[in-house]
A and B are shown apart, each in its own frame.
Chain A
Amino acid sequence: MLEIKNLHVRIAEEETEILKGVNLTVAAGEVAAIMGPNGSGKSTLSYVLAGKDDYEVTEGDILFNGESILEMEPDERAASGVFLAFQYPMEIPGVPTMNFLKAAMNAQRKARDEAEYTTPEFIKTVKAAAGELNIDFNMLKRALNVGFSGGEKKRAEILQMQLLEPKLCVLDETDSGLDIDALKIVSDGVNRLRDPERAFLVITHYQRLLEHIVPDSVHVLYQGRIIESGDKSLALHLEENGYADVIARAA
């Protein structure tokens, strides 16, 4: 489903390269975890997948279902099924969350040539999904992410993911800032979405999340390269020993 080939990325208009030849393939139905110390380029990878224009791809390609998405705008990528749950979801003053959700959900429907939601249909769908994620429906009447707690923001990201039904879900440190209960709710939300037709790229620091969302593969990103790949036992190894020996092996 996703093929990242020799991806080199730098900050637009700056010299420093952040991703230095990333190779990664994720099949439909697969959950791939990406781990790595702070500053290794995990968020950069997620932004480049979503199409943020602060970053410039200087070499390599990203294929989604066999086609390059590099020339696509973020909204086109989203419409084709790419979803990024942000590490730091933006607060957008004045835009009520419900209005935002309606615009986003209808954009998805439009991309698939489906009729827009009627208001009752829309409210019913959102209410049901919010209930599953333990989100107070009143929170969704407030401006998007404004004044939401860290945990509420992360749950709101998963709510959007559930409502937009993407094919590729990229989760950037969705576990950070969550207490144990919230982590369970969020993980259950993700697990409900697991599907043979859907792939996940789960970026995390902690084995803790991977106990709930059990990955099919684990990759270590360090200084802009994938330096080691393995199965879920690699995450356990990192939890016990830190990154030092993996980094030493790669050097």
Chain B
Amino acid sequence: MNIQKTAAEETLGFMLPTRRVESFHYTDLRAMLRDLPAEASADGGDNGYTPLVDTHLVSFNDGKLSGEQVLPSGVIMTADAAKANSVDINDAIVAMNAVSAGDAVEFVISGDATKDKPLGLGHVSTQAARSGTYHKVTVKAGSEGHVIERHTSSGGVASLSTTVSELVLEEGAKAVWYIIQQENEAASRLARLNVTLEQDADLSIFVLNAGGKLVRQEIKVAVNGENANLAIRGVNLVGDNAHIDVTTVLEHNVPHTNAEELFRNVVAGDGHGIFQGQIKVAQPAQKTDAQMACNTLLLTDEGDFSAKPELEIFADDVICAHGATVTDIDDEHMFYLKARGIDEKTARALLIKAFVDEVVEEMEAGEVMEEALTGIIDSWLDENV
């Protein structure tokens, strides 16, 4: 087969996956990225990143490190790390990141210096341009790492930002990683988080998608140490015209590990939402316990959500379960609220909030962070429902 490269692909130097590549079935990057923006210039706008909560902040402006970084002694930063690359078509986002201008930064966290004040990786795109940032975070054995990765963009700017993050939890390390995506409705974002868990590691990931035009967030976890524990939770708020894809791949490679995945999604207007959840349990990985659930609230007939669970299990003594539901707002619930004088819009917002807030609560994020997250959800509901 000899397909002509698109102009975008000429620029990138490689072919983008079409819907024929199974992992991109719902997100045809070749078709969706015909108009590839140019690389961001180094001296971008001067709109700085505005933090959500108080963090040890490392901020990126159009992919470039900006401002001062004042980090505690337990966090060591190296600013000129090497980006990852790949020629596997399934890693198209990694390849795209490698050929998009942006900084690569490495952090090593030891002790609990980020426990009360997390490491903040704050991004803002100010140009209708392409950027690529790379982070590598290692949480040393027995240490605790708290990271808030957040992506924003100036109003109406059609940026295309990519991020590849690597996270390694050494033996007995614990980490909480937030990915908060609040791009504007014209901006696109392609991201990958690669995780390695060693023995007794405990990781909790929270993904909040509350913006963006084309968004794909991939999370790939290699569970390599016994008794490792993983929770991935997320809320995907898919607005009118938005295409939001969360794709996760969990590889259980050793015995006695747990993973729990829970996503709640809300689709407004003619938004498209996608969740692909792959769980691979290798033959030695006996006693794996992996649970996956994906629940969607469809607010209109025009929107849709595709959920694709995929289990590849080669061990025989495992517990793996998955469930996906798609519902609309319960008329009986609506009637009850309206019969108490609550108007339609407020009643809908209360019910939608109830649906997604449950996942936020499970994070036990602490008062400040929980308020920040529900605040983002509230303002999305205000604008989209």
Contact = CB atoms under 8 A, between A and B. Distances in A.
A53 B335 CA distance: 9
Contacts of B344: 73, 75
Q: Say whether chain B's binding surface is mostly helix, strand, loop, or mixed.
A: helix
A107 B355 contact: no
Nearest to B333: A92
Interface stretch (A83-91, A179-187, A202-210): A83-91
Nearest to A143: B354
Contacts of B357: 94
Contacts of B350: 95, 99-100, 103
B317 interface: no
Interface string A164-207: 10000000000000000000000000000000000000000000
Interface in B325-351: 332-333, 335-344, 346-347, 350-351
A75 to B, nearest CB: 4
B358 interface: yes
Given A75-B344, A100-B350, A103-B350, A92 B339 contact: no
A50 B341 contact: no
Contacts of A127: none
Interface in A70-108: 73-75, 77-79, 84, 86, 89-90, 92-95, 99-100, 103-104, 107-108
A79 B341 contact: yes
Contact of B351 (A79, A84, A89, A95): A95
Nearest to A99: B350
A123 interface: no
A90 B341 contact: no
Nearest to A161: B340
Given A92-B333, A94-B354, A100-B350, A51 B339 contact: yes
Contacts of A103: 337, 340, 342, 346, 350
B333 A84 contact: no
Contacts, number: 74
A84 B333 CA distance: 14
B346 A92 contact: no
A155 to B, nearest CB: 16
A113 to B, nearest CB: 14
A74 B354 CA distance: 21
A92 B341 contact: no
Contact of A164 (B337, B338, B341, B343): B341
A192 to B, nearest CB: 20
Contacts of B338: 51, 73-75, 78
A9 to B, nearest CB: 16
A159 to B, nearest CB: 12
A52 interface: yes
Contacts of A90: 332-333, 335-336
A52 B342 CA distance: 14
A111 B340 CA distance: 12
Nearest to A84: B339
Given A75-B340, A160-B340, 18 more contacts: A52-B335, A73-B338, A73-B344, A75-B341, A77-B339, A78-B340, A78-B341, A84-B339, A89-B336, A92-B336, A100-B350, A103-B346, A103-B350, A104-B341, A104-B342, A107-B342, A164-B340, A164-B341
Interface of B: 332-333, 335-344, 346-347, 350-351, 353-355, 357-358
**Smallest CB-CB A-B distances: 6 pairs:** A94-B354, A78-B341, A107-B341, A104-B340, A74-B338, A90-B336
Interface of A: 50-53, 73-75, 77-79, 84, 86, 89-90, 92-95, 99-100, 103-104, 107-108, 111, 143, 160, 164
